[in-house]
């Protein structure tokens, strides 16, 4: 059974950081998005780390997204960093392997750097000289000189700072990585239940959802991928029997009209359906 799960592409490996579910591997991120789930990117963007506009991996899952995956059996917990730690002689072997890889990388990059320099020289020489014979000779001499004198300092070696854990090569429990050691996270709070019902219903209707704290609601509801579309609704989740303060309703309706979105009051009915009520400021005078 484990093997089965292992081979299905429709499962993501979740890692836990301080009890929050995070996705690290780009395949997992892509698959997650393909399911119409958005999440929230938390990390610095490698290309330009010092800005907050575009963020990079890891991707944090909303509790509803996490539960949706769990119910579809589409996620598995990856072993935590601590459990991947290698011990004793294995460490020594891993270090050796790492050093060998670094050395090999250095050699290859040195060759590439030399080629780079040569082709630059070639370009410079051929464009500036007109006499083919003398330039050919000179070129040959220059290239030979370059071969002898070329040094590639170790400090110029390009190294990768991996985003996701290279893990599996260093990890004992490689094969058990899709183990069902899923931490059972109780969400017995009735609000969580309503939120989940609303989330799964709206997702089932093809909407994309993100968290709407900044708009005073539970979810922002997008008609398509948030990369290309604006959100149309602010979903506010309520229990059916919950009484609502009129001022709160007015406040959220007013805010919604200011940001050109419709406020949806969403409640889960006992039969499993979700009831939606839209609030609009009519603006009549």
Tell which positions 212-251 bind another protein, by CB under 8 A. 213-214, 223-225, 227-230
Among 165, 193, 249, 262, binds another protein (CB under 8 A): 165
Q: Are 65 and 72 in contact (CB under 8 A)?
A: no
Give least dist CB 225 to another protein, A.
6
Residue 29, interface with another protein (CB under 8 A)? yes
The single residue among 5, 31, 33, 276 that binds another protein, judged by CB under 8 A, is: 33
Q: At what angle do helices 63-71 and 190-204 cross, to 10 degrees?
A: 70
Q: Does 172 bind another protein (CB under 8 A)?
A: no
* Strand 56-60 to 233-237 pairing: unpaired
Q: Tell me the closest approach of the beta carbon of residue 25 to another protein, in angstroms.
A: 6
* Nearest to 72, CA basis, from 40, 41, 32: 32
Q: Whose structure tokens read 């001499």?
A: 141
User: Which candidate in 170, 208, 230, 276 is catalytic?
Assistant: 230
Tell me the pairing of strands 40-43 and 233-237.
Answer: unpaired
Residues 74-113 interacting with another protein (rule: CB under 8 A): 80-82, 85-86, 91, 94-95, 98, 104-105, 108-109, 112-113
Instruction: Provide the minimum distance between the beta carbon of 211 and another protein in the complex, in angstroms, as a whole number.
Output: 5
Asked if 186 touches another protein (CB under 8 A), the answer is no
- Of residues 41 through 70, those in contact with another protein by CB under 8 A are 41-58, 60, 62
Closest to another protein by CB, 154 or 246: 154
| Number of other residues whose CB lies within 10 A of the CB of residue 21 | 24
Query: Is the Cβ of residue 22 or residue 265 nearer to another protein in the bound state?
Result: 22
The answer to the question of residue 149 lying near another protein (CB under 8 A) is no
CB of 135 to another protein, least distance (A): 28
Count of positions on this chain that bind another protein (CB under 8 A):
84
DSSP letter at 89?
Answer: H
Question: Does residue 222 carry a catalytic annotation?
Answer: yes
Taking the C-alpha atoms of residue 273 and residue 175, their distance in angstroms, rounded to an integer, is 41
Angle at the Cα of 77 from the Cα atoms of 75 and 79, rounded to 5 degrees: 150
d(CA 68, CA 212): 19
From CA 279, how far away is CA 206, in angstroms rounded?
21
The secondary element (H helix, E strand) that includes residue 248 is helix 246-258
Whose Cβ is closer to another protein: residue 229's or residue 281's? 229
Question: Which residues are catalytic, by number?
Answer: 222, 230, 261
């Amino acid at each position: 059974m484990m093997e089965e799960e292992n081979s299905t592409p429709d499962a993501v490996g979740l890692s836990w950081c301080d009890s929050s579910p995070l996705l690290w591997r780009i395949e997992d991120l892509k698959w997650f998005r393909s399911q119409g789930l958005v999440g929230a990117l938390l990390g610095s963007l490698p290309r330009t780390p010092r800005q907050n506009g575009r963020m990079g991996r890891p991707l944090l899952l909303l509790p509803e997204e996490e539960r949706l995956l769990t119910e579809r059996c589409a996620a598995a917990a990856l072993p935590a960093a601590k459990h991947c730690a290698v011990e004793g002689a294995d460490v020594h072997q891993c270090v050796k392997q790492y050093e060998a890889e670094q050395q090999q990388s250095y050699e290859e990059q040195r060759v590439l750097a030399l080629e780079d320099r040569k082709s630059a020289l070639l370009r410079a020489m051929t464009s500036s000289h007109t006499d083919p014979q003398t330039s050919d000779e000179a070129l040959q001499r220059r290239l030979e000189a370059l071969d002898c004198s070329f040094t590639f300092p170790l400090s110029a070696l390009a190294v990768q700072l991996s985003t996701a854990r290279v893990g599996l090569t260093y990890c004992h429990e490689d094969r058990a990585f899709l183990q069902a050691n899923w931490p059972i996270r109780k969400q017995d709070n009735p609000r969580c239940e309503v939120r989940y019902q609303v989330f799964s219903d709206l997702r089932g209707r093809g909407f994309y959802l993100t968290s709407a704290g900044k708009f005073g609601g539970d979810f922002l509801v997008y008609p398509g991928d948030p990369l290309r579309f604006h959100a149309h609704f602010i979903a506010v989740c309520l229990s059916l029997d919950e009484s609502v303060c009129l001022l709160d309703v007015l406040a959220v309706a007013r805010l919604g009209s200011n940001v050109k979105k419709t406020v949806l009051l969403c409640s889960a009915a006992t039969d499993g359906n979700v009831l939606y009520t839209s609030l609009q400021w009519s603006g009549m005078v």
